[in-house]
Amino acid sequence: MGLSTGIVGLPNVGKSTIFNALTAAGALAANYPFATIEPNTGIVPVPDPRLNEIAQYIKTERIVPATIEIVDIAGLVKGASQGEGLGNQFLSHIRAVDAILHIVRCFENPDVVHVDGSVDPVRDVEIIELELVLADLESAERQLEKNKRAAAQRDPEAVQRVAVLEPMVALLKEGKPSRLALAGMDVAAQRLAKSLGFITGKPVLYVANVDERDPTGASNPHVARLQEWVAAHGGEMVVISGAIEAEIAALESEEERREFLAGLGLKESGLARLARATYRLLGLQSFFTAGPKEIRAWTIPIGAKAPQAASVIHSDFERGFIRAEVYTLDDLRTYKTEAAIRAAGRLRSEGKEYVVRDGDIMHFLFNV
């Protein structure tokens, strides 16, 4: 897919701890700002219980989940938009990702210094949001000036860009993210707006990093405050404990992990929820292929048609696409085997215009 998500946050909020647990990539997690200078990239599986359920009916050699790419971007500090800390470098790394995981410290720990001296999730979020807004405002004003000059020479593309940039600049001047301007635009204008490279135009998932003593954050006042802020600003939020996730990542076997979670009264790890929420944030869904060699989840954008889905497996599949044979996990639950699904007339034959649904199990017929 080539879509990636960047982890951002102030220094010492637990970004690298969470990244390490996510990817087991061993990124340096040190208790001082700027431990992470080059962005580390990891490929993270997206847990999907449907894969194991398909395997109950179709015996297979291996199960391959969908994956997402996560980039650990170094801690942003106040003044980054003016080049403070490692500002400019960080901002260019954030511009390169498709969505943002904003890690927010919601835990008290005297051994882990806070860059601003105290734990205050709303202040922390607003520091970063403001830095990203200021960085975008500088870029937006520059682009607007340039396009206004071209529009005066009757350049039709520049005229369109000016119409998109003006409301975005107005919002950024108010300290608001550019994504809020998208609501009033038609589809073509939204596409143009997204191509302009604004950081505050990217979707954001706020990740409350909590103490291991309260892994759900149910009795954590910092989480409650952050939840209020996120709800008021139209975002999504996930609560996880980086410390617990680091312990889980260090366990050898799946059985040990399950026992450890059960001991905490949890059904699944916070990272499983985080990976799935990130997948949705990127506007992605999965379809499956299932056979004796492997059962695999393939990643496609929501709204993709059958030939586009086929191309994810191999470009030849799209080029020579004839049709797709499609059934669902519900069909498999009812009829138990693919042969029985076919015999019952439940195997659908779909053409080029078929919009693939999340969870479709597919075979592609093609001719190259």
Same domain for 87 and 128, yes or no, is: yes
Q: Spell out the residues 6+ positions from residue 200 whose beta carbon is closer than 8 angstroms to its own.
A: 129, 132, 133, 136, 172, 177, 178, 179
Q: Which of 281, 311, 333 is the last residue of a domain?
A: 281
CATH number for the domain harbouring residue 315: 3.10.20.30
Rounded Cα–Cα distance for residues 232 and 63 (Å): 40
Q: Is residue 167 in a domain?
A: yes
166 and 229 housed in the same domain: yes
Choose one of 221, 249, 281: the last residue of a domain.
Answer: 281
User: Do 162 and 219 lie in a common domain?
Assistant: yes
Kindly report, residue by residue over 157-173, the tens digit of the pLDDT. 999 999 999 999 999 99
Tens digits of residue pLDDT in 109-139:
888 767 677 899 999 999 989 988 998 999 9
Q: Please tell me whether residues 327 and 210 are part of one structural domain.
A: no
Indicate whether 222 belongs to any domain: yes
Backbone CA torsion sign across 329, 335, 337, 341:
negative
Provide the domain count of the chain: 2
pLDDT of residue 32: 38
CB atoms within 10 A of CB 192: 17
Query: Regarding predicted confidence, which is higher, 19 or 30?
Result: 19
Same domain, 26 and 146: yes
Q: Are residues 247 and 335 in the same domain?
A: no
- Categorize the per-residue pLDDT at 39 as very low, low, confident or very high, splitting at 50, 70 and 90: low
336 domain residue, yes or no: yes
Which range of residues forms the domain containing residue 318?
303-366
Cα(355)–Cα(348) distance, rounded to whole angstroms?
13
Shared domain for 164 and 312, answered yes or no, is no
Q: Give the separation between CA 199 and CA 337, rounded to whole angstroms.
A: 48
Same domain, 208 and 245: yes
Same domain, 43 and 181: yes
Is 80 a residue whose pLDDT tops 60? no
Q: What is the mean pLDDT of the chain?
A: 88
Q: Classify residue 293: in a domain, yes or no.
A: no
Please compute the mean of the pLDDT values over residues 180-191 and round it to a whole number: 89
Q: How high is the pLDDT of residue 113?
A: 67
Task: Give the long-range contacts of residues 168-171, CB within 8 A, separation 24 or more.
Answer: 168/140, 168/193, 168/196, 168/198, 168/201, 169/137, 169/140, 169/141, 169/144
Q: Quick check: 222 and 237 in contact, CB under 8 A?
A: no
Residue 67 has pLDDT above 70, yes or no: yes
In a domain, 275, yes or no: yes
Q: Tell me if 290 is assigned to some domain.
A: no
* Span 276-292, pLDDT tens digits: 999 999 999 999 999 99
What's the average model confidence in pLDDT over 245-269? 89
Token readout for 2 is: 């080539």
Percent of the chain residues topping a pLDDT of 90:
67
Mark which of 213, 247, 281 sits at the end of a domain: 281
What pLDDT, on the 0 to 100 scale, is given for residue 90?
A: 65
289 in a structural domain:
no
Q: Domain check: are 256 and 338 in the same one?
A: no
Indicate whether 353 belongs to any domain.
yes
Q: What is the distance between the alpha carbons of residues 115 and 80, in angstroms, rounded to a whole number?
A: 14
Rounded mean pLDDT of 170-193?
Answer: 91
Q: Is the pLDDT of residue 81 over 50?
A: yes
Q: Verify that 236 and 333 share a domain, yes or no.
A: no
Confidence of residue 182 (pLDDT cuts 50, 70, 90): confident
Distance, in Å, from the CA atom of 212 to the CA atom of 208, rounded to the nearest integer, reads: 12
Q: Are residues 193 and 248 in the same domain?
A: yes
